[in-house]
Amino acid sequence: MGNMMDNLLVRSLTSKSKGRTDDIVPPSPVKAPDADGADKTDDEENPMMETVRSKCITQLLLLGAIDSIQKRYWSRLKTTQQTAIMDILLSLLEFASSYNSTSNLRTRMHHIPPERPPLNLLRQELAGTAIYLEILQKSTVEHDGNDPSEDTNGHVIESDEHEKLKSLAEGKLVSFCGQILKDASDLQPSTGEAASADIHRVLDLRAPVIVKVLNGMCIMDAQIFKKHIREFYPLITKLICCDQMDVRGALGDLFSKQLTPLMP
């Protein structure tokens, strides 16, 4: 188990560098061939795309390994190890979400036929989001108080560590959900306006990630949701009129499970 975590922590050092936006600039538009007939575009784009593909493959494999670890061994990990896994996952998500940003997706849309989706890392972002939410949810639940050790001091230390982890996970959970909702709500057109075709396509592409977050908020600890309702509510209400029906359905579930019980 120790070797497994050592390897994971080593991977985290390399994965953090993958979140840099310098490496994920969208592909350049296709240029006309030079006078001698040589098209240099492929030579310029291929190295960059090969780098992105290599990172994607590595990170998808890493996501699978992390998912297996958190499902089987999460309760056996030390707090420092659990925190390290959270940080690794966040770095993977930042890399994918940067590549999937609205500006990057819209830029790529202009270089391909309308019927084709732009290059994206939505599969990676969706998989990472599901694992990240699961880890944060289980880290914010109340401690059951059952300590296998009979040592009183040891029990106090473990309880303190759990409370620190719970507080950290709550902050990460609220921040992550809030950012996804903010990004989605910022794309919604003002009242009486229609979303542009590009924005509509971006929202369609990102809908599965938004739905995953809304579903995660449905099972969020009720006290945490209530505590941060002032942050969530304005973002939630801006999504009510979105055109994506699956997002509306997830919003309905959220209202039913979290907001309705708060009404007097």
Backbone angles phi, psi at 101, to 5 degrees: -60, 160
Highest mean pLDDT among 26-40, 154-168, 177-191: 177-191
Mean pLDDT of 36-60: 65
What does the pLDDT read at residue 93?
93
What does the pLDDT read at residue 176?
96
Helix axis angle for 152-186 and 197-218, nearest 10°, is: 150
User: From the CA atom positions of the chain, what is the Rg in Å?
Assistant: 21
Number of domains in the chain: 1
Other CB atoms within a 10 A radius of the CB of residue 155 amount to 15
Angle at 183 between CA 107 and CA 120, to 5 degrees: 40
- The answer to whether residue 23 is domain-embedded is no
What does the pLDDT read at residue 54?
83
Q: How far apart are CA 200 and CA 189, in angstroms?
A: 10
- The answer to whether residue 24 is domain-embedded is no
pLDDT of 5 higher than 80: no
What does the pLDDT read at residue 69?
93
- The answer to whether residue 175 is domain-embedded is yes
Q: What is the pTM of this model?
A: 0.74
pLDDT of 211 higher than 90: yes
pLDDT of 96 higher than 70: yes
Q: DSSP string of 215-237?
A: HHHHTS-HHHHHHTHHHHHHHHH
Q: How far apart are CA 221 and CA 140, in angstroms?
A: 7
Give the CA distances from residue 98 to residues 42, 77, 139, 184, 193, in Å, rounded to whole numbers and listed in that order: 23, 30, 26, 14, 27
Q: Which domain holds residue 162?
A: 2-13+44-142+150-262
What does the pLDDT read at residue 29?
42
What does the pLDDT read at residue 142?
61
What does the pLDDT read at residue 193?
61
Residue in this structure with the two tokens 């050592």, named with its chain if needed: 6
Contact in structure between 86 and 174 (CB atoms under 8 Å): no
pLDDT tens for each residue of 113-159: 777 777 788 889 999 999 999 999 999 986 554 444 444 444 444 57
HEC string of 73-102? HHHHCCHHHHHHHHHHHHHHHHHHHHHCCH
What does the pLDDT read at residue 37?
41
SS3 102: helix
Q: How far apart are CA 195 and CA 193, in angstroms?
A: 7
Backbone angles phi, psi at 229, to 5 degrees: -60, -35
